[in-house]
Amino acid sequence: MKLYSRITGTGSYLPPRRLTNADLAAELAAKGVETSDEWIVERTGIRARHFAAPDVCSSDLGLEAARLALQAAGVQATDIDLIIVATSTPDMVFPSTACILQNKLGAHGGAAFDVQAVCSGFVYALSIADAMIKTGAATKALVIGAEVFSRILDFTDRTTCVLFGDGAGAVVLEASDTPGILASDLHADGKHAGILCVPGHVSGGQVLGDPLLKMDGQAVFKLAVGLLDTAARNTLAKAGKVAADVDWLVPHQANIRIMQSTARKLKLSMDKVIVTVDQHGNTSAASIPLALDTAVRAGRVKPGEMLLLEAVGGGFTWGALLLQL
């Protein structure tokens, strides 16, 4: 049995409809909701986001990202024995988006399931896939973050609707004789569930409660800044590494100010931080694999380099993961 799991390919996909802040502000103004490019850029760093067409689901975005990751890894879909999709915007109540995507990919028979940890979902999913590979439960996994957050946004609430976008990112994770994923540190505290949630649910053929995203932005911001630093340090300690060993910080892309704060606390220069929030907005579980693939394809992040991934999200969930590419 091989001792490690290693990323051998990355892929990502953005739906074609791109809205700049000015485009979104104009659409919102028509509904009587006031915002501006200036406010959004200053408070978040976001300049544009992509929205999927109404008939496009998370599995469709994830499928495109998965195909590109498989191609980069030189792996056939039929060789995949594990698919984990991190999403908070699944295609259906059930089956899982992972099963739907597995069928679209033609990768029948392996294990497939979704992980629901909101914006921390990809870090959770990658950590689970790593554990399954290390125990021999899987040998070639697809780990995907895919979201259509535009479906759950309240476009009358300017404090949230300008922040999020749609997209997907994927990695192929394979059993390997060389490292790989080095360590991870996952946490949750359900007592903060109310600060970031979509409180509605389906019952008796109807949606009960509010099916749109609610967020206390300042409460999330304050928690995020403290928890991310701790999770990053725990992860480094578990791997016997220090922040100076990190070549790239690949953070969840929610707000440039949170990323700057984490980098500052770890004494990492912003040159070592992968930033795509300006072009993607917050794509929740998709944001880290989207950022990773963007950096890999741009030739910035290279094989052999040490990457620190970290995220916070609804739940409240948070975590970090250290890997050698």
Active site residues: 119, 252, 282
Q: Rounded CA gap, 201 and 179, in Å?
A: 42
Instruction: Pick the binder of ligand UT7 from 2, 17, 43, 104 (CB under 6 A).
Output: 43
**Binding to ligand UT7 by residue 291, rule CB under 6 A?**
no
DSSP letter, residue 178: S
Instruction: Pick the binder of ligand UT7 from 312, 322, 323, 325 (CB under 6 A).
Output: 312
Stretch that binds ligand UT7, among 13-21, 70-78, 218-226, 240-248 (CB under 6 A): 218-226
User: Angle between the 97-105 and 58-73 helix axes, to the nearest 10 degrees?
Assistant: 50
**Chain residues 155-174 in contact with ligand UT7, contact rule CB under 6 A:** 158-159, 162
User: Residue 196: what are its φ and ψ, rounded to 5°?
Assistant: -155, 105
Comparing CA positions, the residue from 182, 179, 168 lying closest to residue 293 is 168
- By the 8 A CB rule, do 91 and 153 touch? no
Considering the complex, what minimum distance in angstroms separates the CB of residue 129 from ligand UT7? 22
Question: Cis link prior to 95 (omega < 30° from 0)?
Answer: yes
Stretch that binds ligand UT7, among 8-16, 91-99, 147-155, 253-261 (CB under 6 A): 253-261
Considering the complex, what minimum distance in angstroms separates the CB of residue 105 from ligand UT7? 27
Considering the complex, what minimum distance in angstroms separates the CB of residue 149 from ligand UT7? 9
Q: Rounded CA gap, 22 and 17, in Å?
A: 14
Considering the complex, what minimum distance in angstroms separates the CB of residue 35 from ligand UT7? 3
Considering the complex, what minimum distance in angstroms separates the CB of residue 36 from ligand UT7? 6
Considering the complex, what minimum distance in angstroms separates the CB of residue 53 from ligand UT7? 23
**Chain residues 110-149 in contact with ligand UT7, contact rule CB under 6 A:** 119
**Chain residues 49-108 in contact with ligand UT7, contact rule CB under 6 A:** none
- Residue 44 vs 324, nearer CB to ligand UT7: 44
- Element spanning 312, H or E: strand 306-313
Say what the alpha-carbon torsion angle 201, 204, 207, 208 is, to the nearest 10 degrees.
Answer: -70
Q: Rounded CA gap, 126 and 68, in Å?
A: 18
Q: Rounded CA gap, 11 and 26, in Å?
A: 32
- Residue 147 vs 185, nearer CB to ligand UT7: 147
Contacts of residues 267-271 at CB distance under 8 Å and 24 or more positions apart, as own/partner, are: 267/243, 268/243
**Binding to ligand UT7 by residue 35, rule CB under 6 A?**
yes
Q: Which residue is nearest to ligand UT7 (CB)?
A: 217
- CA 115, 163, 149: angle at the middle one, nearest 5? 40
- Interaction site with ligand UT7 (CB under 6 A): 35, 39, 43-44, 119, 158-159, 162, 196, 217-218, 220-221, 224, 254-255, 258, 282, 312-313
